[in-house]
Structure 1
Amino acid sequence: MNSKLPGGINHYLQWARSQTSISFKKWNSKKIAFVGVLIAISVVMFLISVRILPISALPAFKFSFIGLPIKITGFVFGPIVGIITGILADLISFALVPTYYNVLYTLAVAVAGFVPGLAAYYFFNLNELFFSRKYRIYKYKQTVDFFKIQFSEALARENSEDLQYFSEKIAFYEVKIILLETKKKPMAMINFAFISAIVFLVLQIIIIVAIFSKLDNSIFEHNRFIKNKTFYVILTTSGFIGMIVFVVLYRLFLRKKYQTFIEIMAIITFCAILELVNTVLLAWADTITLRTDFWVNFTGQTLTSPVKIFFNLAIILPTYKVVASLIKSKEGDRF
């Protein structure tokens, strides 16, 4: 007989290992086929773009076309598969249409598959582990069983005080189980995703302001669109502030489709992270390969980051829902 009340980190880890939805599943032919299809789509999109607009063969432009399928692959299949897919897609596209090459371009595509995979684990798996009602229901059911055993022992001892105490505990936790099972809105998981997305967006704004406030005004004179540093910073940060407003309003008026809300928070977050990381990598690679100024490249690409994030969201979310429903058709919801 286990005389210890259920709970604690060991009990939690025991439950976590039993959850198939958050473990590494064996790969099957269906998953391998989907990864192959997404690699092919990224390469085909690049080849079509080159036919229509030859300048898209340049690495910085190429990333815009092959990046989306790579992000979807990482988001669905995890960071390791995302890295492998990104590297393969970049090397295959380069072999078909050789242009300028630098390992930083390949690294940028690999990161585009890695970060979405991490975001998926963070917003789905960790969120489920720490805030899903599943573990609490599991814990409370084992707690009820624990007190039932104690009740039986107290009954054998004919101890009326213990009988009263254990019966109250059993009733208390059974009520908790009923309340959790009938609760439809996963508040803890929603708030975790919401706060995480807001924090990452705020950090993005802080980093942009910190970087650009230290740059010389002469750098912005070479920018193709915005020549004034202050106006550039205001325009760029206002895009991210607009995203924060969108996230807050979405949270305030959220009434259903909670899983979709968490997915959107994850996509916005990893797109925001990638916009900063990949902008640095691509600007650095362009500086080395094309002999252009790093800060001119950096400022030119950062300006459109908020627009690209919303564009990515519009493409990735429906694609993810279709692919994930086919791959994970046997899994239940995360709440």
Structure 2
Amino acid sequence: MQKFAEILLKGNNLAYAASGLIGLFILAYIVYNSLSYLVLKERYHGIRFTTKNIAYITMFTAVSVSVTVVISLTVPITVFPPVRIAFEGVMVKITGFIFGPIVGVIVGLITEALVMIFVPSFVHPAYIIVIICYGYIAGIGASFLRVGKGNNWVTLALVNIFLIGFALLMAYLIDFANLESGIEFFGFTMSKEVFKWVFIGSVMTCIFLVWTFTIVFMAKGHNKVLNTLLPIVLFASAAEYLVTAVISAWGDYEFLGLNTGKENGVGYESGYVLMLMSRLVQAPLKIIFNSAVLYFTYKAVSPLIKTDR
């Protein structure tokens, strides 16, 4: 187990592993639905690619691209990939949440390709993977919207299970890895205990905020709001920790030129770790903010969309 932990925590391997894992889930989802329809003759439960649905999908793609391009032209800082992805990801997540994982993946890929054409910037595979994963994870969140509707405690339990599971997994890996010499940041050395507690502290803060808002909404009798909000919090949490923190950090540190090329501990790239930790510190507030933005956007857009299933 120690060898596995050291390999996983070496260089960018954590980002590679997360990308590969989500890629396998996307492939498994496509294969499962294809076999269910072709072999078992089960009814396809996703949206059908009718003229109306294709028009909706095209509209969302156009809105995502145009908004990102306009913002990039008016606010120059948004040409930086980490900032651009934040704006671009909103409509991709909404599209995935409304139309499902497959459409989310397609729209994410097309949107990123078009934005790269119209807004020349730093090109890195991490950001392409990130935007595709946003669409897929948001689409999976839509399943919990349908399954968990009317039972907010189930969705809340899933949020807690994911967050606690992620924190325990990372703490477990860091404990097993041979990081006794610590990790160096521009002349400073950080122990593995600090690294571990950054993960745990970020997740515990997020859990506290989620429970606080949930209790407040329940006390005020806004259960219908929670029917939609909690699935959004669930996929926003998964997207933030698995995708934005772990995978985006790979692109961020190379974009900013933070690669020191030094072997730290078991071979950590200190630039990757630095960006990963900065993402983790921001994660709780970003999850709450993104959930609020996605909720109000979804409530404004979803009544206008009548999909064919």
TM-score (normalizing by structure 1): 0.63
Match of 1:283 in 2: 249
Q: How many angstroms apart in 1 are the aligned matches of 2:284 and 2:216?
A: 17
Instruction: State the number of aligned residues.
Output: 249
Match of 1:131 in 2: none
Q: Secondary structure at the match of 1:72?
A: helix
Matched, 1:120 2:142: yes
Bigger CA radius of gyration: 1
Report the CA distance shift for 1:208/1:252 in structure 2 as closer, same or farther (over 3 A): farther
Q: Decide which structure has greater helix share.
A: 1
Aligned partner (choices 65, 69, 85) of residue 107 of structure 2: 85
Q: Where do 5+ consecutive residues of structure 2 fail to align? A: 1-42, 259-270
Shift of 1:288: 4.7
Matched, 1:39 2:61: yes
Q: How many angstroms apart in 2 are the aligned matches of 1:267 and 1:211?
A: 28
Match of 1:312 in 2: 290
Q: How many angstroms apart in 1 are the aligned matches of 2:228 and 2:186?
A: 36
Shift of 1:300: 1.6
Match of 1:266 in 2: 231
Code of the aligned partner of 1:56: T
CA RMSD of aligned residues (A): 3.5
TM-score (normalizing by structure 2): 0.68
Report the CA distance shift for 1:324/1:220 in structure 2 as closer, same or farther (over 3 A): farther
Q: How many angstroms apart in 1 are the aligned matches of 2:230 and 2:203?
A: 19
Residue pairs, 1:52-201, within 5 angstroms: 52-121=74-143, 123-127=144-148, 186=150, 189-201=151-163
Identity of aligned residues (%): 24
Higher alpha-carbon deviation: 313-322 or 66-75: 313-322
Shift of 1:330: 10
Report the CA distance shift for 1:252/1:203 in structure 2 as closer, same or farther (over 3 A): farther
Q: How many angstroms apart in 1 are the aligned matches of 2:239 and 2:157?
A: 19
- Conserved? CA contact 1:198–1:247, under 8 Å: no
Q: Where do 5+ consecutive residues of structure 1 fail to align? A: 1-19, 129-185
- Conserved? CA contact 1:79–1:113, under 8 Å: yes
Report the CA distance shift for 1:239/1:41 in structure 2 as closer, same or farther (over 3 A): farther
Report the CA distance shift for 1:36/1:231 in structure 2 as closer, same or farther (over 3 A): same
Code of the aligned partner of 2:227: I
- Conserved? CA contact 1:193–1:266, under 8 Å: yes
Matched, 1:302 2:280: yes
